[in-house]
Amino acid sequence: MSRFSITTPIYYVNAKPHLGHAYTTIVADSLARFHRLCGDETFFLTGTDEHGDKIVQAAEKAGSTPQQYVDAVSAQFRDLWPALGVTNDDFIRTTEPRHKAVVQAILQKVYDAGDIYLKNYEGLYCYGCEQFLTEKDLDAQGCCPDHKVPPAKISEANYFFRMSKYQGWLKEHILANPDFIRPERYRNEVLSMLDMGVLDDLCISRPKTRLTWGIELPFDPDYVTYVWFDALINYVTAMGWPDGALFARFWEHTDHLVAKDILKPHAVFWPTMLKAAGLPVYRHLNVHGYWLIKDTKMSKSLGNVVEPLAMRDRYGLDAFRYFLLREMRFGRDASFSEEALVGRLNADLANDLGNLFSRVLAMTHKYFGGQVPDPGARTAPADADLGELARNAFANYTTLFARLEFGQALESLWELVRALNKYVDSAAPWALFKQGRTDELAAVLYTLLEMMRKVALFVWPVMPGTAEAMTAQLGGAFDLARVDLGAEAQGFGGLAPGTALAAGSNLFPRVDPPREEPAPQPAAEEKAKAKDKAKPEKKAAPAPQPDPGVIEFADFQKLDLRVGTVLAAAPHPDADRLFVVQVDLGEAAPRQVVAGLREFFQAEDLVGRQVVVVANLAPRALRGQTSHGMILAVRRDGGMELLTASGAVAAGAKVS
């Protein structure tokens, strides 16, 4: 059994969790789940970074003590993760006693080895960065480029870690291990950092006269530890260094996951610290880019901070997780927008995956009473090309996912999902049914159901709730311990004939694109209020007159409105605006309805949708194609919306 351990950065508690934190943690969760699915023994760590000036300043601003403050914000992070489906094994806080003990033990070890020394230091200190800066680091105005303030001139004795001593070793290690830092652009960035000149030794202390909120140096009680030297050590604290079982089992299988902002501490400080302390280094440093909002950084002052829970509540957790992994090319920056999220949700999730599911379930109910049909010999899919495509899709997905190429991995799975939808159209189960070709029909539907079962397994790391719901709808229970991913990628026939399926499925209802709220206009509002005040009091409204256009209840009852699922839609051979649609209304054969929807929909947008049909409309020939009913829709500016039920209902359910 292989082992895999993954960490996120431990997040500063000077701000609430936002999209950036959620992204890293959801990626880590998807990786942890992926490795569990592959049968690997897995350990997944996240936590909070709670010492340093920044935290003290934030606590002061909030009017609380540092301890009260860090307790409150750390709890927000800890509680957020389960709400985003994150399954971390531990949550570490740097203010915990277990961490203090390990930091002090490592400091002592490095000090005893002679790699920490005291030096009087005069330098330019940026309180925002909590770092000394050199002249080279400053911008043209002599300010810190990140905080836009001039650094303070400080002269003090401090302890330094002999980082420069390990520069040569680090470079060799990176050269000898090509994927130690990945993707390659960040590896190159670190190599050029190391080639630029001699590394400075790292100042690792802060005098208590300036800062007390930190871990005391074990060899000098007048100092606390610099926050980065403290924070990085969390990764081994949580594994119980020096003699914890987790440390022995997982440390050398550890992948760190960070964004590009904290490349240097992880790629340079941390490995050299480990080397000096006599510890082996981690296995990979995985570095991703930044989520931007309309090409700018997220920031409180710009008011563009995206809250993960708001996204979950608006679009569903799995759609949010899917979007994050599908949209960002790992290592590059990406743009976040709700429009793009809705686009993915409607196209990939509602249209491709959701439709496939609802169509195939509906047909299995209709033709086989909701039970998995028996295809006879079950060793191969009914269509050899589809089988080949599926094997490739699963193999590519697995390879790409392990390489952190999540977007491409999902794309390769979706190639299969789209091919399955096409297979429904080309195999036309409704035609096989009409022609009484039951064996072929059983083989086609079995193939589809079996492929859907596999898709659910593979998609679990990214969309666990959806995967579990899909599995349940296919009459099974998601059981991680029994999954053999390698066998699933190759084999066929795991789904037992006769298994009872759930009644219906509407995994991803389509979502309307977000509308930009018009900005409030106080001036206009005030004007309106003033006008209202000036108005004389309203007179009582006259009693309503009976409307001559009303109908009696008995008239309404004459209408037979039914909900059905669109199984197929084909362009009318002789009319540009019409589709010839096959709708499953729970009858022996699909209902043919000719509908004027072609201006507004693609055929694939319709397939799988629940629609409301006027089922007792007298049949009517429209340019040679008979329509047995009417699909109800609503016109809106430049488009059209279909009437539907807000949740999944059985085919043919009556509207009343």
Task: Provide CB contacts within 8 A for 4, sequence distance 6+.
Answer: 31, 32, 35, 40, 41, 42, 43, 253, 255
What distances in angstroms separate CA 245 from CA 43, 233, 585, 644, one per listed residue? Answer: 12, 17, 60, 56
In the complex, minimum distance from the CB of residue 612 to ligand MSP, in angstroms, rounded to a whole number: 43
Pair of tokens at residue 562:
């039914």
Instruction: State yes or no: is 300 an active-site residue.
Output: yes
Choice from 4, 6, 10, 375 touching ligand MSP (CB under 6 A): 10
Check if the beta carbon of residue 202 is closer than 8 Å to that of residue 161: yes
Verify binding: residue 24, ligand MSP, rule CB under 6 A: yes
Verify binding: residue 324, ligand MSP, rule CB under 6 A: no
Of 631, 368, 351, 611, give the one whose Cα is nearest residue 507. Answer: 351
Task: Provide CB contacts within 8 A for 484, sequence distance 6+.
Answer: 39
Catalytic residue selected from 18, 208, 260, 284? 18
Q: In what order do the strands lie in the sheet containing 220-225?
A: 205-207, 220-225, 216-217
Residue number with CB closer to ligand MSP (166 or 269) = 269
In the complex, minimum distance from the CB of residue 230 to ligand MSP, in angstroms, rounded to a whole number: 9
Verify binding: residue 11, ligand MSP, rule CB under 6 A: yes
Backbone angles phi, psi at 501, to 5 degrees: -95, 160
Residue number with CB closer to ligand MSP (21 or 93) = 21
Residue number with CB closer to ligand MSP (217 or 231) = 231
What distances in angstroms separate CA 186 from CA 199, 258, 273, one per listed residue? Answer: 18, 11, 20
Give the x-and-dash track for 107-136 against ligand MSP (CB under 6 A). Answer: ------------------------------
Verify binding: residue 449, ligand MSP, rule CB under 6 A: no
Choice from 73, 163, 231, 273 touching ligand MSP (CB under 6 A): 231
Choice from 12, 166, 250, 282 touching ligand MSP (CB under 6 A): 12
Residue number with CB closer to ligand MSP (13 or 417) = 13
Size of the site for ligand MSP (CB under 6 A): 19
Residue number with CB closer to ligand MSP (103 or 495) = 103
Residue recorded with tokens 């957790």: 317
Pair of tokens at residue 8:
């996120």
Distance (Å, rounded) from C-alpha 474 to C-alpha 453? 7
Phi-psi region of 498 (alpha: psi -120 to 50; beta: other; left: phi over 0): left
Residue number with CB closer to ligand MSP (9 or 475) = 9
Question: What is the pairing mode between strands 152-161 and 116-126?
Answer: antiparallel
Verify binding: residue 223, ligand MSP, rule CB under 6 A: no
Give the x-and-dash track for 276-295 against ligand MSP (CB under 6 A). Answer: --------------xx----
Verify binding: residue 325, ligand MSP, rule CB under 6 A: no
Choice from 138, 143, 259, 617 touching ligand MSP (CB under 6 A): 259
Pair of tokens at residue 297:
């950084």
Residue number with CB closer to ligand MSP (24 or 506) = 24
Verify binding: residue 9, ligand MSP, rule CB under 6 A: yes
Instruction: Give the three-state DSSP class for 343.
Output: helix
Verify binding: residue 560, ligand MSP, rule CB under 6 A: no
Verify binding: residue 20, ligand MSP, rule CB under 6 A: yes
Q: Which stretch binds ligand MSP (CB under 6 A): 17-25, 209-217, 356-364, 433-441?
A: 17-25
Catalytic residue selected from 109, 129, 173, 208? 129
Instruction: State yes or no: is 129 an active-site residue.
Output: yes
In the complex, minimum distance from the CB of residue 276 to ligand MSP, in angstroms, rounded to a whole number: 17
In the complex, minimum distance from the CB of residue 219 to ligand MSP, in angstroms, rounded to a whole number: 23
Verify binding: residue 381, ligand MSP, rule CB under 6 A: no
Instruction: State yes or no: is 654 an active-site residue.
Output: no
Any idea what DSSP says for residue 486? H
Instruction: Give the three-state DSSP class for 555.
Output: helix
Catalytic residue selected from 61, 147, 148, 434? 147
In the complex, minimum distance from the CB of residue 10 to ligand MSP, in angstroms, rounded to a whole number: 5
Check if the beta carbon of residue 102 is closer than 8 Å to that of residue 246: no
Rounded to 10 deg, the angle between the 464-473 and 317-327 helix axes is: 120
In the complex, minimum distance from the CB of residue 36 to ligand MSP, in angstroms, rounded to a whole number: 22
Residue number with CB closer to ligand MSP (112 or 261) = 261
Q: Is 639 exposed, middle or buried (0-12, 13-18, 19+ CB in 10 A)?
A: exposed
Q: Is 23 exposed, middle or buried (0-12, 13-18, 19+ CB in 10 A)?
A: buried
Choice from 191, 298, 347, 655 touching ligand MSP (CB under 6 A): 298
Q: Is 343 exposed, middle or buried (0-12, 13-18, 19+ CB in 10 A)?
A: middle
Instruction: State yes or no: is 284 an active-site residue.
Output: no
Distance (Å, rounded) from C-alpha 332 to C-alpha 222? 43
Verify binding: residue 475, ligand MSP, rule CB under 6 A: no
Residue number with CB closer to ligand MSP (107 or 448) = 107
Instruction: State yes or no: is 21 an active-site residue.
Output: yes
Give the DSSP H or E segment for 123.
Answer: strand 116-126
Verify binding: residue 599, ligand MSP, rule CB under 6 A: no
CA 600 to chain centre: 31
Choice from 80, 190, 194, 258 touching ligand MSP (CB under 6 A): 258
Instruction: State yes or no: is 165 an active-site residue.
Output: no
In the complex, minimum distance from the CB of residue 7 to ligand MSP, in angstroms, rounded to a whole number: 8
Please identify the residue of the shown chain whose CB is closest to the bound ligand MSP.
20
Instruction: Give the three-state DSSP class for 609.
Output: coil
Backbone angles phi, psi at 514, to 5 degrees: -65, 145
Residue number with CB closer to ligand MSP (43 or 368) = 43
Backbone angles phi, psi at 235, to 5 degrees: -65, -35
Question: What is the pairing mode between strands 216-217 and 561-571?
Answer: unpaired
Catalytic residue selected from 54, 100, 126, 256? 126
Catalytic residue selected from 35, 38, 51, 144? 144
In the complex, minimum distance from the CB of residue 266 to ligand MSP, in angstroms, rounded to a whole number: 7
Backbone angles phi, psi at 367, to 5 degrees: -95, -20
Task: Provide CB contacts within 8 A for 334, sequence distance 6+.
Answer: 289, 290, 291, 292, 327, 328
Verify binding: residue 21, ligand MSP, rule CB under 6 A: yes
Q: How many residues does the chain have?
A: 656
Verify binding: residue 81, ligand MSP, rule CB under 6 A: no
Residue number with CB closer to ligand MSP (406 or 423) = 406
Backbone angles phi, psi at 434, to 5 degrees: -60, -40
Verify binding: residue 262, ligand MSP, rule CB under 6 A: yes
Residue number with CB closer to ligand MSP (79 or 261) = 261
Pair of tokens at residue 402:
């392990």
Pair of tokens at residue 187:
């590896």
Q: Which stretch binds ligand MSP (CB under 6 A): 16-24, 103-111, 242-250, 371-379?
A: 16-24
Binding site for ligand MSP (CB under 6 A): 9-12, 20-21, 23-24, 49, 231-232, 234, 258-259, 261-262, 290-291, 298
The residues annotated with a catalytic role in the active site are 18, 21, 126, 129, 144, 147, 297, 300
